[in-house]
């Protein structure tokens, strides 16, 4: 672990198309790490990095409250705007609720197994696939409920929920990319959870 203002650390912000901050390139050049700040053993940083990615994908990145809150907002939107004859949309709203609840219970299960001393392991990739795809699906359902209103500009004064569904959808689209792309997670599940052979293609 190193402070970002340590000698040898260079942080270069990366501009985003939407003007928001959030990305940087971080360069380390002969940065000194005092012994008390070493995680694990010297030259074993890769194992520590891999353990942090499992923890990120399996537990710490996306709290269940985030998806429960989105599902509740979706149910409220459905109550306001639904065409009650549209059984397909109703089923998608129900699915969003069930998925968010399942994710919450699964998170409790992960915490219980960590408390019992079990590692998170490659199964965390299944978790990452689940929440990232759930998030996109839930926002797509909201946009379907909104219909043409969903197209309103973020900043439009009459945007529904202040344009939050469209902004949320745009951010949800990044979910299958960050924390390791979903294509890579599927390969991890195939090889390390299911024991399938590596793809030679």
Q: How many CB atoms lie within 10 A of CB 26?
A: 10
Which of 92/168 has CB closer to ligand FAD? 168
Is the distance from CB of 61 to CB of 175 less than 8 angstroms?
no
Q: How many CB atoms lie within 10 A of CB 134?
A: 22
* Binding track, positions 119-158, relative to ligand FAD; x by CB under 6 A: ----------------------------------------
CA distance 103 to 41: 34
Q: What is the DSSP code (8-state) at residue 175?
A: T
Is the distance from CB of 144 to CB of 92 less than 8 angstroms?
yes
Which of 160/188 has CB closer to ligand FAD? 188
Among 155, 183, 197, 200, binds ligand FAD (CB under 6 A): 183
CA distance 185 to 108: 22
CA atoms within 13 A on the CB side of 189: 17
Catalytic residue among 35, 56, 123, 140: 56
* Binding track, positions 153-182, relative to ligand FAD; x by CB under 6 A: ---------------------x--xx-xx-
Q: Is 140 a catalytic residue?
A: no
**Residue 184 interacts with ligand FAD (CB under 6 A): yes or no:** yes
Subset of 8-27 contacting ligand FAD (CB under 6 A): none
Which residues form the interface with ligand FAD (CB under 6 A)? 174, 177-178, 180-181, 183-184, 187
Q: Which residues are catalytic?
A: 56
């Amino acid at each position: 672990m190193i402070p970002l203002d340590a000698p040898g650390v260079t942080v270069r912000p990366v501009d985003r198309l939407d003007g928001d901050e959030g990305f940087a390139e971080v360069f380390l050049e002969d940065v000194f790490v005092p012994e008390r700040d070493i995680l694990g053993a010297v030259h074993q940083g890769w194992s520590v990095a891999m353990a942090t990615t499992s923890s990120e994908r399996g537990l710490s990145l996306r709290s269940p409250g985030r998806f429960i809150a989105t599902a509740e907002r979706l149910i409220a939107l459905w109550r306001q705007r639904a065409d009650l004859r549209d059984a397909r949309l109703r089923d998608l709203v129900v699915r969003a609720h069930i998925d968010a609840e399942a994710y919450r219970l699964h998170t409790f299960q992960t915490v219980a197994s960590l408390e019992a001393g079990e590692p998170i392991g490659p199964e965390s990739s299944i978790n990452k696939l689940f929440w990232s795809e759930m998030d996109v699906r839930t926002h797509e359902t909201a946009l379907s409920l909104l219909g043409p209103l969903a197209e309103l500009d973020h900043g439009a004064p009459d945007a529904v929920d202040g344009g939050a569904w469209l902004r949320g959808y745009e951010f949800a689209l990044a979910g299958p990319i960050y924390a390791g792309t979903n294509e890579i997670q599927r390969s991890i599940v195939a090889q390390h959870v299911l024991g399938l052979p590596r793809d030679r293609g």
